[in-house]
Amino acid sequence: MPRKNANFQTQADSREPLSRRSKTKFIIVTGGVLSSLGKGLTSAALGSLLKAKGLKVSMQKLDPYLNLDPGTMNPRQHGEVYVTDDGAETDLDLGHYERFLDTPMTRRSSYTAGRIYSQVLAKERRGDYLGGTVQVIPHVTDEVKAAILSMSDDNLDVVLIEVGGTVGDIESLPFLEAVRQLKRDLGRGNCLFIHLSYLPYLETSGEFKSKPTQHSVKELRSIGIQPDIIVCRGKLPSSAETKAKIALFCDVPIDAVFTAVDVKNIYELPIKLFQEGLEKKVSRLLNLGRQEPDISPWQGLVARQAKLTKKVTISMIGKYGELNDSYKSLKEALGHGGLPHDAEVKINYHNAEDVRPDNVAALLKGSKGILVPGGFGLRGVDGMVTAIAYARENMIPFLGICLGLQCAVIEFARNVAGLSKANSEEFKPNCRDNVIFRMVGWYDPNSGLRANRDPSDDLGGSMRLGSYPCRLTPNTKAYAAYDSDLIHERHRHRFEFNPKFLDLLVKKGLVISGQGPADPLENPALPRPKLVEIIELANHPWFLGCQFHPEFKSRPMRPHPLFKAFIEAALGHK
């Protein structure tokens, strides 16, 4: 019998069964009761366990907000914006994915509702739907499924999909409907659902309360999703009685209820989840083999972190410290940098707006190193420049990242090179001594062409994003840190060092220790813009600024070279 509405045909109706098209298995992770439960960390830790048993694993984040990406979102509300090698601006959870799996993510690893709807509307404008009525089901849900299946690869065994938001949020409904359909499309044994829920413990009565989890699963089941596994997040391991109660009322086997307890060190999570048996249950349901994961690297890492014998204090002068996640990757990278030196890194955060010439010495007293991170806009820049001057004059190890480099150049130009009005075009568009300027075009190593940017571009499309090459100068601190002459680092900025002032600043003692693009990727037929990527000071123990974001490539078991060198210098500061 013909369909009444042919427009309602879905991907699964018109193609061979999805389960036959790839060997990739999918794990869908949802969350309930409240936000910030740790879906990203739990997913990443589980992914690391699956990788540790020899499987090829990747991850994807589905975020329900309508922004095209997090690139224009305020870090004080949403946390840091993480950048991938291919230039995607993503949610900070992708940082967790990369740090736990030590596998690079791509723009396919991050989709927002805004991006999904934008793609649907673009297809409608092109006539792809042949004049049909565009609806959430099937058009939006099919687009979500297509995004998930874009991760499917014969070289991947497992992909974990984290659905952002909380079950019950109206924004999440199209995503949840899409993953409900996906499990039906893929078939049993190729896809499973893990639901992360909050399990409160009432100290007054001395008991766990499973009702929030029951209601969360009830909400999930009302839209057609029955979780295969429930992970309860709580302060304490849940009792066998509580697990049995959850299993009964949520209709899952008792061996499918697990606890993810709070940990002081996030790198304990793979160990805790392994001890709970989560990986074993997942492997059994998806037929991933019985080989146990090798968790000894995580055990070794946690053991090392628990026995650090040294401590070093780093002062961070930033703009977004109101939210703990605003500098998530940076804080992790500093901790990684201390490990090779047996050092625990303590971070003293100072709001840049509070730093002034009359109080900078008191605020930074006792600091063994000073770090100025990235950011946008004029607010707080004077405080950053003041802190940098203090680091330069008092021979305190300094690391400037992105905006931190730009502020270091401004400070040097004003106080050493005699350009008292030196500034950035970002803060003063018509300044004469624009030592930091907006480059309208630059070399794009991916295409071999100059990528032009109109200054009137929207904020989300006017930056140098992603991985770019950099050639290092021998006999510099950068070269010594990397022990290489060619590196690739991730960028996220609109403004550059103005080469017009390069000769003057170099004569005054500024060292250009990194420039890009590197020679092997340049096109000889095109002009060669020498973009300044790293600066140093010749007469300072350790003073370095980089235009890129090295924190995005630091891993707990592979600390980034610049953070290793910075912490080493800080430990040596008297």
Q: What is the pLDDT of residues 57-98, one digit of tens each?
A: 999 999 999 999 998 888 888 889 999 999 999 999 999 999
Give the rounded percent of residues in the chain with a pLDDT score beyond 70: 90
> What is the C-alpha separation between 496 and 252, in angstroms, rounded?
56
Q: Which of 191, 250, 402, 407 is catalytic?
A: 402
Q: Are strands 191-198 and 229-234 parallel, antiparallel or unpaired?
A: parallel
pLDDT at 135 over 80: yes
Mean pLDDT value across residues 407-425: 97
- CB–CB of 549/492 below 8 Å? yes
Q: What is the pLDDT of residues 222-244, one digit of tens each?
A: 999 999 999 999 888 888 999 99
> What is the C-alpha separation between 453 and 62, in angstroms, rounded?
29
Other beta carbons less than 10 A from residue 2's beta carbon: 4
Q: What is the pLDDT of residues 508-560, one digit of tens each?
A: 999 999 998 644 344 444 445 578 999 999 999 999 999 999 999 999 999 99
Kindly report the backbone phi and psi dihedral angles of residue 525, in degrees, each rounded to the nearest multiple of 5, phi listed first. Answer: -80, -10
* Mean pLDDT rounded to a whole number for the chain: 89
pLDDT bucket at 466, cuts 50 / 70 / 90 = very high
Name every residue whose Cβ is closer than 8 Å to that of residue 77 and which is 6 or more positions away in sequence. Answer: 323
Q: Which of 78, 491, 549, 560 is catalytic?
A: 549
Among candidate residues 42, 98, 92, the one with its CA nearest the CA of residue 268 = 42
Task: Write down the CATH number for the domain with range 28-299.
Answer: 3.40.50.300
Q: What is the pLDDT of residues 148-197, one digit of tens each?
A: 999 998 789 999 999 999 998 999 999 999 999 999 999 989 999 999 99
Known active-site residue 551: yes
In this structure, what token pair is assigned to residue 517? 């693009």
- Among 249-258, 304-313, 451-460, 555-564, name the one with the lowest average pLDDT: 451-460
State the DSSP code for 293: P
- Dihedral, CA atoms, 44, 48, 50, 56, nearest 10 degrees? 100
Q: What is the pLDDT of residues 4-53, one digit of tens each?
A: 444 444 444 444 444 445 689 999 999 998 888 889 999 999 999 999 99
Q: What is the pLDDT of residues 104-126, one digit of tens each?
A: 999 999 999 999 999 999 999 99
Among candidate residues 570, 560, 568, the one with its CA nearest the CA of residue 341 = 568
Known active-site residue 402: yes
pLDDT at 456 over 50: no
Q: What's the number of CA atoms in the CB half-sphere (13 Å) around residue 89?
A: 24
Q: Please give the single-letter amino acid code of residue 559.
A: P
pLDDT bucket at 146, cuts 50 / 70 / 90 = very high
- CB–CB of 225/176 below 8 Å? yes
> What is the C-alpha separation between 111 and 90, in angstroms, rounded?
8
Domain pair 28-299 / 308-437+496-515+533-571, same fold: yes
Helix %, strand %, coil % for the chain, to 5? 40, 25, 35
Domain ranges of the chain: 28-299, 308-437+496-515+533-571
Known active-site residue 407: no
pLDDT at 455 over 60: no
Domain 308-437+496-515+533-571 has CATH 3.40.50.880: yes
